[in-house]
A and B are shown apart, each in its own frame.
Chain A
């Protein structure tokens, strides 16, 4: 009796797979830093991507086809990204790449994108001006993040600024923009200091800050350890100037306790956004992941929205053909936790920015909202 039942099983499997052939899944490649510097945030990005795919598939997929995630570790760097992009594009034959990555990983992956002509939605905030016909970005650039902070500090009466950062492209890029923006609004930068990315001793810089007489400071360190060390040492030295931190996320600020009180952060997403979409999103995340939930943040929410933006583009184009999708990706919009997002400005998106201040109990209070901040001239040739 065993042989006939085996044949029956094989037949049913073949039937099942032939039934699926008509609606072969649309594959979404997600190269992301599961190891290395991004490993702290990557799980939250994967979770929000999983939720988007689950929701879309439950509602009937895209053009009648289900979505399928293919996740690859890019090791948060260039070498890993090259391998991840190659394997996703040439072996897994994904239809689109949607991912939050380091700038190094993105730059290493772009040549693969150009060669293979696969649409690529980048969902991490970054230093700006990365331009490629296949690349779209739904997260912020310095032109969107820094002005809210400086405008707020100016209004509070600050005229002299001290800038502190980690010595790498994002840290320097953000502070260079901050310097030019401060100077263009009539303020002065009285000091700008950097420490290597793995540096942990900020003593000399803090003494310079105290001697400079600055009325406000803006910091842009590498996330995680250097940021925490700097904040602890600043507080230990009794620095209580208005303090804007370009690199701290809500979760880290929450955990830092008393040391974080008063820090200003500027983001396109905070969990406290008061909208029906955000509430529904947070509830769905909590229901799906329970105890395993990683707090949604400014890097994971754009990933969620980007998958919906891709869905809208494929539906509008009527196919997953790269040229057709790329042609309409800047025309479609999606209203998600951050509001209505459309990558309409030279492949970048105008975004509503939230200026938050860390309260004594660790929560982040939105002190000011800046509607639809323009990303500026990112890619004039596109």
Chain B
């Protein structure tokens, strides 16, 4: 039972961490390699909230706003001129990630920071005592997934975004303001990533390089998932599950590379990955 809970909650955490990256990649076809930096920014929002003596829950909206605003500035100044040169965009966002990391180091120091836990303790479920926070993370992942489904299927912005995903030039020819759609999508993606950074704080240490560890995993999952949130959920469940199984039954050291190895294998066999799901 613990194993089952480990699998679904690990998948949930992977989903939370990669959702923002997928939003940006899906609509903009840009890989935001500053993704790890936005996770870090979000986590430091939790540090700031704690420092001001506010409830740790307030870090969630604060991080979303801070992430979105910073994302908006970045889109306007750095990413917008690079839409037609995705390779250069990788380089630019990677560099931006390094700069953000250094700025955080300058502001807060290199040391590990500490934040108040959002939820602590365990709950008795399915015959075992399980971390309450991990179950909350599962709920948060479902909420984020449903939120995106609603946004894409139920709003005007979602409709436009889907049009941009399907055929960008046609969307523009039909009079859609693709510049604005990209701008808003980038902001939502980075805001969500910063939010994910806050959600990570009860699980990891908060330091200027904390995002790097999550970047590669999210990147791999997004490559496999393409532009579909459904596919991302499936990828997180399959790969996260494999990671837990390998860690439990073979070795946690091999477990750490499971996501990367499986993603490479899946892409080798089918270049579309899970995107057809």
Binding site for B on A (CB under 8 A): 39-40, 167, 193-196, 198-205, 207-208, 210-211, 224-229, 232-233, 235-238, 252, 255-259
Contact = CB atoms under 8 A, between A and B. Distances in A.
Contacts of B114: 228, 255-257
A224 to B, nearest CB: 5
A171 B13 CA distance: 27
Contacts of A208: 248
Contact of B6 (A198, A203, A227): A203
- Report the interface size class on chain B: 35 or more
Contact of B203 (A195, A211, A236): A236
Contacts of B243: 201, 204
Nearest to A231: B205
B221 to A, nearest CB: 14
B253 A195 contact: yes
A203 B9 contact: yes
Given A194-B252, A203-B9, A203-B10, A233 B203 contact: yes
A203 B247 contact: yes
**Which of A39, A167, A229, A236 counts the most B-chain CB atoms under 10 A from its CB?**
A236
Contact of A236 (B131, B205, B207): B131
A221 to B, nearest CB: 11
Contacts of A205: 247, 252
Contact of B129 (A202, A225, A226, A238): A238
Contacts of A40: 110-112
B120 A236 contact: yes
Contacts of A193: 252
B244 interface: yes
A70 B210 CA distance: 33
B158 interface: no
Given A40-B112, A205-B247, A232-B203, 19 more contacts: A195-B253, A203-B247, A204-B255, A207-B3, A210-B2, A211-B2, A225-B205, A225-B207, A225-B209, A228-B204, A233-B131, A236-B120, A236-B131, A236-B203, A237-B130, A252-B112, A256-B114, A257-B116, A259-B117
Contacts of B252: 193-195, 199, 202, 204-205
A238 B133 CA distance: 11
Contacts of A198: 212-213
B256 A195 contact: yes
Given A199-B256, A224-B112, A232-B202, A207 B133 contact: no
A296 B53 CA distance: 28
**Which of A39, A199, A237, A255 counts the most B-chain CB atoms under 10 A from its CB?**
A237
B35 interface: no
Given A194-B252, A204-B248, A207-B2, A236 B133 contact: yes
Closest 5 CB pairs of A and B: A204-B247, A228-B205, A238-B122, A225-B205, A236-B131
Contacts of A259: 117
Interface in B117-174: 117, 120-122, 129-134
Contacts of B255: 204
Nearest to B130: A237
A279 B132 CA distance: 44
A267 B206 CA distance: 25
A256 B111 CA distance: 12
B245 to A, nearest CB: 8
Interface in B25-49: none
Interface in B198-231: 202-205, 207, 209-210, 212-214
A197 B209 CA distance: 13
Nearest to B50: A257
Contacts of B214: 200
A198 B248 CA distance: 18
Contacts of A235: 120
A228 B133 CA distance: 16
A341 B29 CA distance: 63
23 contacts: A39-B110, A167-B253, A194-B253, A195-B256, A198-B212, A198-B213, A199-B253, A204-B248, A205-B252, A207-B3, A208-B248, A226-B205, A227-B205, A228-B114, A229-B205, A232-B117, A232-B204, A232-B205, A236-B132, A237-B122, A237-B134, A252-B112, A259-B117
